[in-house]
A and B are shown apart, each in its own frame.
Chain A
Amino acid sequence: MQTEVERELIKQCKAGGPQFYEPIVRAYEGAGLRLALGMMGNAEDARDALQNAFVKAWHSLPRFDLKRPFGPWFFQILRNQCRDMLRSRQARFSRETLDERLDSRPAGDESDPEAIHRRAVARDVLWQALERVGTEHREVLVLKELQGFRYSEIAEILDIPDGTVASRLYHARLALKAVLEEMNAEYP
Chain B
Amino acid sequence: MLMGLAGEVSVSRDRLDSIERLLENKQLLTRSEIESYEPTSTVTAERAAWRETFLDEVLRIVQVELEAAETDDTQPYEEAIAAVENNSQLEKED
Q: A and B bound?
A: no
Q: Which residues of B does A touch, CB under 8 Å?
A: none
